[in-house]
Structure 1
Amino acid sequence: MSKEISIEQIKQFNNKYHSVPSHLISQRAVMKNGILASSENQASIVKNNPVFSIDLDTGDVSNQKQSGRCWMFAALNTFRHQISQTFHIKDFELSQNYTFFWDKFEKANYFYENILATSNESLTSRKVAFLLQTPQQDGGQWDMLVAIIQKYGIVPKQIMPETFSSSQSREINDFLNKKLRKDAVTLRKMVSDSKTSEEIAQVKERMLQEIYNLLATSLGTPPDSFDFSYVDTDGNYQLKQNLTPQSFYDEFIGRDLADYVSVINAPTADKPYNHMYSVELLGNVVGGKEVRHLNVDIETFKKLAIDQLKAGEAVWYGCDVGQSSTKDSGVMATDVYSVSETLDIDYQMTKAERLDYGESLMTHAMVITGVDLVDDKPTKWKIENSWGDKVGTKGYFVMSDDWLNEYTYQIVINKKFLPAELKDIVEKDDVTVLAPWDPMGALA
């Protein structure tokens, strides 16, 4: 039975609040400066200084601006590190706009196919509501970018540079989602009216043409072929002619993306370790690479990242960046804010509880480019962000090891660093499919 709050209770609450002197001290600070600024712990910032025993040279950071393409920037940054070192190119970037175009185009088709697949379910079904809530968005997962690259290749940023809509994506997302929802009405009605598959396919093709037109108008037209010129760090002019996006990838990057696996740490009861998971309705390219995760314990998780860093290769990773992190100094540490002391409230939850109860999930992807090992144990990690060079240390953040334990959920590892028993698990076709709204389906 519900019970209302009485006026007498309110008087008691007020009296108890004012009876604690520390409450009044916090009140004065928080009313003037806000909760976080009043709780910042300078000792944590000093402790997490940007010095690392393993520190990869990765150059200047990139800037995703007002878009949600962090997952894309992080992946392309791992590739540009390799290109810069191998071909001696300074301040080089790959075209985030090119992959953005094809991701948007493929997500539209992925949405249409899922709308058709669920067309016999009611609008109030959780799956249909899930699809219509956000038909597409900027976010993604590592495997989704792999699907784009495997199909469309990649180009330098100078070949397809940024546009207004790629750098400030809210407007294009609004109009894309408006169209996709309208098209969902049409497609569901065609199914209910028993239209033939050929008739539906013709209408869907027209819809895709309109999507292509919208994207080309906003983002530019992706190139089929191009010439790539640059001056290397020795001052030598280089020219590569008649490249395609696929041949550019093969010549300048050449990684077999099938060698990389998404490794997660999700310590919830429904996801036993040492098992593969996928997520229903999660993807972008129909018929492309499926999003799959290998769940491992946190110590294995960190060892894999360290082994890849020791081999000189940066690590794509996904985390909940908004938790206990400072944007100006770029420190992510569990003790960087003492909010529990400021507010006199215990906020402690386990990592599993935060995932199960909606308190945390992956919200951002970045690149791990270094780690500080003391007695062969990690104490803090160097992070390349994609928010420009005005935050952190010229755009680089520091993540404490405790913070990684609590708020990091995903890394991408070359399978050669996996022990034999984990390689066997990855190669087997034993995959548990999670619900579309599972936190491991979150898009960075």
Structure 2
Amino acid sequence: MTVISDQEIADFSADFNTNSKNQVASRAARRSGLLEASFNDRVSERLNHVFSTELDVGGVTDQKHSGRCWEFATLNVLRHYFGKQNKVKDFTFSQAYNFFWDKIERANAFYNAMIRLADKPLNDREVQSWLAFAGEDGGLWSMAINLVKKYGVVPSYAMPESFNSNNTTGLIDSLARKERKDAIALRKLVSEGSSQDELEKAKKHFLNEVYRMVSVALGEPPKKFDLEYRDDDKKYHLERDLTPCEFVQKYFKDFKFDDYVVLSNCPNHEFNKLYHMPLYDNVDGGDQIKFLNVPIEYLAQAAVAQLKSGDAVIFGNDVLKQMERKTGYLDTELYQTDKLFGVDTKMSKADRLATGEGFATHDMTLVGVDEDHGHIRKWKVENSWGDKYGHKGFYEMSQPWFEDYVYDVVVRKEFLTDEQVKLAEGPAIDLKPWDNIG
């Protein structure tokens, strides 16, 4: 191993000053920032606001300072369905309601895992993965559907947003700290030879405390509510004393939750395989969190087909890559930092996943696509960051960005190949908590 010598530093400096363009680039970058100095405004020529297929949806939602994009995206799909069925496109559901139950269910899954893994050392990689995941508010479509199936949904007015649902930092930090402390206590009980009944009693005590914490932060969820709205034809509707589950059973009876499959595109794992992520199984007794890994063209084909059928598509993506909030552009040529630096940082999707450079950080909803004789040019994206960004809250995404930074789409089985349907219904390969599958 060698150290950097004074001569090498002198060589680096001489190389930098050999090209006068480096000084020009440095002045621009220092003055306006790297991203602004490398911004490519020519992408607007292909990212306009016109789409050959476009759903008729209302305004956007706003997750504020929280990691609940997965719940917002899921409830956006459900509200679009409800709006189409009942002619009320701006009707919204309560994200706070499902977020409440996610905290309870995820704490239960965490405690069960800590009991199951109690014989392993605290620095075991799987134990550490669970400890790192404690209190988290991020998630996935399948996790949200598990909550909907068990607890139903309510209108946004039945359990409105609050400071702590809009800004989850305080709650998730408190929950993580508590759950990690409880993990130590559960491990100690196991090591002392406590019976299953004693462990269940301790777990119930801890869950009761978690329920109290979440209720203080968010308020208790409603047990019943009155469904009241005026549709797009100005007709008034009122139905009293619905439970959240009754609401789903009545108004989503034709929404076949089990017909949906998560198609993933993670080329660092073998294609045409069904994978299971046990770490994300948020509801004990609920559906396992699975992904069918296929080449990217199948994600695009299925998403287009579902949009043309009139339904929105949830997709997981690495939103902070090559994105500008102000314009709402998502394009691989948006920031040309490599040209600014004079380097090449281009990596394959597989290499980005394998090295941690790439992973899904956000869920959004596809509500439109623009095609030219079957060639996809761009997509219309519904985000959950409010209407101050993008085009009134909607974003435009190029097809190259889709190929590079989209990791999964949620589509119905009817838009898969026969082989893919069989794979999706077959046995899944368990992944380790640290496996990066986007």
TM-score by length of 2: 0.98
Number of residues of Structure 1 aligned to a counterpart in Structure 2: 437
Contact kept in structure 2, 1:73 and 1:386, CA below 8 Å: yes
Q: Does 1:273 find its partner at 2:252?
A: no
Q: Which amino acid aligns with 2:355?
A: Y
Whether 1:79 and 2:104 are equivalent positions in the alignment is no
Q: Residues 296, 374 of structure 1: CA spacing in aligned structure 2 closer, same or farther, 3 A cutoff?
A: same
Offset of residue 92 of structure 1: 1.4
Structure 2 CA distance for partners of 1:90 and 1:292, relative to 1, 3 Å: closer
Whole-angstrom CA distance in 2 between matches of 1:229 and 1:56 = 25
* Alpha-carbon distance between aligned partners in 2 of 1:261 and 1:305, rounded to the nearest angstrom: 12
Superposition pairs for residues 140-289 of structure 1, below 5 Å? 140-254=139-253, 255-268=255-268, 271-289=269-287
Q: What amino acid is the match of 2:351?
A: E
Secondary structure, in 3 states, of the residue corresponding to 1:276?
Answer: strand
Equivalent AA in structure 1 for residue 133 of structure 2: T
Distance 1:315 1:99 in 2: 20
Where does residue 415 of structure 2 map in the other structure?
417
The residue aligned with 1:33 is 32
SS at match of 1:398: strand
Partners of 1:62 and 1:387 within 8 A in 2: yes
- The correspondence for 1:373, drawn from 326, 346, 371, is 371
Identify unmatched segments of 5+ residues in structure 2.
none
What does residue 434 of structure 2 align with?
Answer: 437
Q: Distance in 2 between matches of 1:281 and 1:387?
A: 27
Q: Is the 8 A contact 1:45 1:336 kept in 2?
A: no
Structure 1 counterpart of 2:349: 351
Provide the residue aligned with 1:405 in structure 2. Answer: 403
What letter is aligned with 1:415?
A: K
Q: What is the alpha-carbon distance in structure 2 between the residues aligned to residue 181 and residue 166 of structure 1?
A: 22
1:436 is paired with a residue of what secondary structure?
Answer: coil
Q: Residue 315 of structure 1 contacts residue 368 of structure 1 at CA under 8 Å; is this kept in 2? A: yes
Q: Distance in 2 between matches of 1:256 and 1:47?
A: 36
Matched with 1:106 is 105
- Report if aligned partners of 2:152, 2:244 keep a CA contact under 8 Å in 1: yes
Distance 2:261 2:324 in 1: 30
CA distance in 1, matches of 2:279, 2:55: 36
Which stretches of structure 1, 4 residues or longer, exceed 4 Å deviation after superposition?
Answer: none
Q: Give me the CA root mean square deviation.
A: 1.1
Give unpaired runs (5+ residues) of structure 1: none
Question: CA offsets, 1:148-176, max 9 Å, x none?
Answer: 11111111111111111101100001111
Alignment of 1:286-301 (within 5 A): 286-301=284-299
What's the CA shift string for 1:284-322, capped at 9, x where partnerless?
Answer: 111111000111111111101111011011100000001
In structure 1, the partner of 2:391 is 393
CA contact (8 A) 2:316 2:407 kept: yes
Match for 1:263: what amino acid?
L
Shift of 1:235: 2.1
Partner AA of 1:136 in structure 2: G
| Contact 2:139–2:280 (8 Å) recurs in 1 | no
TM-superposed CA distance for 1:388, in Å, is 0.2
Aligned counterpart, 1:51: 50
Q: Distance in 2 between matches of 1:393 and 1:416?
A: 32
* TM-score (norm: length of structure 1): 0.97
Aligned partners of 1:11 and 1:253: how far apart in 2? 69
How far did residue 272 of structure 1 move? 2.1
1:184 counterpart SS class: helix
| CA drift at 1:68 | 0.5
**Do the aligned residues in 1 keep the contact of 2:274 with 2:291 (CA within 8 Å)?**
yes
* Pairing 1:266-345 to 2, within 5 Å after superposition: 266-268=266-268, 271-345=269-343
CA positional deviation for 1:241:
1.4
Could you list the per-position Cα deviations for residues 80-107 of structure 1 after superposition, in whole angstroms to 9, with x for gaps in the alignment? 1121222122521101000000001101
Deviations 1:118-137 (A, max 9, x none): 11111111111111123121
- The change in CA–CA distance for 1:261 and 1:63 in structure 2 (over 3 A counts) is same
- Where 1:402 maps in the other structure, the secondary structure is helix
Contact 1:111 1:136 (8 Å CA) reproduced: no
User: 1:295 is aligned with what amino acid?
Assistant: N
Tell me, what secondary structure is at the counterpart of 1:439?
A: coil
AA matched with 1:23: N
Inter-partner Cα distance in structure 2 for 1:95 and 1:302 = 30
Query: Aligned residue for 1:94?
Result: 93
1:236: how far off?
2.0
CA distance in 1, matches of 2:147, 2:280: 14
Q: Which amino acid aligns with 1:245?
A: P
* 1:3 corresponds to: 2
Alignment partner of 2:324: what SS? coil
List per-residue Cα deviations over 1:182-217 (Å, max 9, x = no partner).
Answer: 101110111111111111111110111111111111
